[in-house]
């Protein structure tokens, strides 16, 4: 029993310590590169030891739990495949792509390419006047022997699936816009956004043509890398309005965008979901609407597309509708207004379950400890029936050797309340252990578990701190998911715009 409690405690404590060290490292970057490097190193060491400890102690987890993991994964993939087919059939209006590009070796190749990689899923339809195309593809080469493909199928499903969302435009030269990591440093620390940029870069489809780096102004170049096949096109495309959209919209802070011939596209880590299809295409439509009409007229000889782009209603409710259901639709609308990334059904479910589990673990111990510390817990006269001096060691083998804890000293006793006899166990200071048969005063926790505490001992405060390790992050996760605040840098930008 002690081992089962030790493993999650060390896992969560190690994660919390790693986040604290990472935050300190970001703070130190503004003051000392050496100090920042030290804390980044300590963070890496903490994560490494935490992972090693978890794997070394995992033998304590019941075998049935491990056997259930493959079943859960298989059920998740089966549900994802069924759900994808369901929504694709509902909106698809073409059996084959009529525009855009396909994936091959990390490149976006034309539809008439002699040897494109097969797509895992394809959907094309018209929405608010725009023609949209979504493709799910894999970064694993399909040209391997059948035996290897069969064995690597699960690994591919877990780590090698990506999706591209495309919006049809008039033919233009190639242009790519990619966000940079640590673009806000040292003023702001954005590890989660940097992580998403890195993840999305793995499956990023680049135009299959020669590109040259292009620079606009220092502020924009600090945040984005721009490459183009025609510098004049890039210069005219990246107007102040377009750059303002790219700089300030949360989507473009973590997604690469490309123009080439008859499509704008962006890629994402993970499969092609309905949420991703409509969320990403909405942002592409907003970008198309920001492009000046002179661009389409000069480079594509098209005078109609500008009116199509500007007349499309890219408001959240109009474009997304109620596809997220009665919970996620208002939630994602709120997150969009507060410059936060939308949540998918799986993400929302996982966040909620994790938060509720952490709160459930911590709320009763925290309530009992607070009641004892504030003397609101009932105090009873208990007759001691057994005394334990504690000191029993519980150990697990880890990569760093043996990790051990010792039991606290405790007493077992009985007390009468409401005409019934109740049994109770209470932690006790070792040098103050009473003899069996002695009557002692014990504080009883009012919530589930009803633990006993020695009056005046520090055990209630210690248990409160242990409970807060679970309770506080759980509440914080719920708050950041359902009631997110506007990021500090966004607040500053909005305040500056309001003053103008």
d(CA 447, CA 464): 14
pLDDT (tens digit per residue) in 99-139: 999 888 888 888 888 878 778 889 999 999 999 999 988 87
Which of 112-116, 181-185, 359-363 ranks highest by mean pLDDT?
A: 359-363
pLDDT over threshold 60, residue 143:
no
d(CA 414, CA 35): 56
Length, in residues, of the chain: 500
CB 385 within 8 A of CB 413: yes
At 6, is the pLDDT very low, low, confident or very high (cuts 50, 70, 90)?
very low
pLDDT over threshold 70, residue 224:
yes
What three-state secondary structure class fits 173?
Answer: strand
> What pLDDT is recorded for position 1?
33
Owner of token pair 């102690």: 57
Measured in whole angstroms, the distance separating CA 118 from the mean position of its chain's CA atoms is: 29
Element of type H or E holding 37? helix 33-57
Within 13 Å, how many C-alpha atoms sit on residue 24's CB side?
A: 15
Eight-class DSSP state of 101: E
pLDDT (tens digit per residue) in 408-449: 888 889 998 888 888 888 888 878 888 888 999 999 988 888
Please give the mean pLDDT across all residues of the chain: 81
Where does residue 201 rank: exposed (0-12), middle (13-18), buried (19+ CB within 10 A)?
A: middle
At 273, is the pLDDT very low, low, confident or very high (cuts 50, 70, 90)?
confident
pTM here is: 0.71
CB 493 within 8 A of CB 248: yes
d(CA 454, CA 426): 7
Q: 132: closest CA among 294, 297, 319, 302? A: 319
DSSP 442-470: EEE-SSTT--EEETT-SHHHHHHHHHHHH
């Amino acid at each position: 029993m002690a081992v089962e409690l030790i493993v999650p405690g060390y896992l969560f404590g190690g994660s919390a310590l790693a986040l604290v060290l990472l935050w300190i490292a970001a703070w130190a970057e503004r003051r000392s590169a050496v100090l920042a490097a030290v804390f980044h190193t300590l963070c890496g060491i903490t994560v490494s030891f935490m992972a090693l400890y978890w794997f070394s102690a995992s033998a304590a987890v019941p075998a049935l739990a491990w056997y259930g993991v493959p079943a859960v994964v298989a059920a998740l993939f089966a549900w994802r495949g069924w759900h994808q087919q369901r929504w694709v059939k509902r909106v698809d209006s073409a059996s084959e792509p009529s525009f855009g590009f396909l994936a091959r070796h990390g490149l976006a190749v034309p539809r008439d390419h002699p040897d494109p990689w097969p797509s895992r899923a394809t959907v094309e339809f018209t929405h608010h006047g725009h023609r949209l195309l979504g493709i799910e593809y894999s970064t694993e080469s399909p040209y391997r022997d059948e035996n290897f493909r069969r064995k690597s199928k699960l690994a591919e499903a877990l780590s090698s699936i990506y999706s591209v969302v495309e919006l049809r435009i008039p033919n233009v030269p190639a242009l790519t816009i990619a966000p940079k990591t640590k673009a806000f440093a040292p003023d702001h620390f954005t590890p989660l956004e940097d992580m998403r940029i890195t993840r999305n870069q793995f499956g990023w489809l680049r135009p299959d043509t020669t590109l040259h780096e292009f620079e606009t102004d220092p502020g924009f170049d600090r945040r984005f890398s721009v490459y183009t096949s025609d510098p004049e096109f890039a210069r005219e495309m990246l107007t102040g309005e377009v750059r303002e959209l790219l700089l300030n919209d949360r989507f473009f802070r973590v997604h690469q965008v490309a123009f080439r011939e008859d499509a704008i596209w962006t890629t994402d880590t993970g499969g092609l979901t309905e949420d991703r299809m409509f969320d990403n295409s909405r942002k592409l439509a907003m970008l198309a609407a920001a492009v000046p009409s002179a661009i389409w007229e000069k480079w594509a000889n098209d005078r109609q597309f500008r009116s199509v782009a500007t007349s499309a209603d890219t408001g959240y409710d109009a474009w997304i509708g109620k596809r997220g259901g009665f919970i996620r639709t208002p939630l994602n609308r709120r997150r969009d207004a507060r410059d936060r990334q939308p949540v998918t059904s799986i993400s929302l479910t996982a966040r909620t379950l994790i938060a509720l589990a952490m709160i459930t673990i911590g709320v009763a111990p925290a309530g009992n400890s607070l009641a004892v510390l504030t003397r609101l817990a009932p105090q009873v006269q208990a007759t001691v029936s057994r005394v334990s001096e504690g000191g029993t060691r519980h150990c697990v083998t880890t990569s760093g050797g043996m990790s051990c804890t010792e039991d606290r000293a405790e007493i077992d006793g009985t007390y009468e309340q409401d005409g019934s006899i109740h049994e109770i166990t209470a932690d006790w200071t070792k040098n103050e252990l009473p003899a069996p048969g002695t009557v002692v005063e014990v504080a009883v926790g009012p919530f589930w578990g009803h633990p006993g505490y020695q009056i005046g001992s520090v055990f209630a405060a210690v248990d409160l701190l242990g409970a807060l390790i679970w309770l506080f992050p759980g509440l914080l996760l719920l708050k950041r998911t359902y009631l997110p605040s506007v990021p500090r840098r966004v607040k500053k930008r909005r305040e500056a715009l309001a003053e103008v």
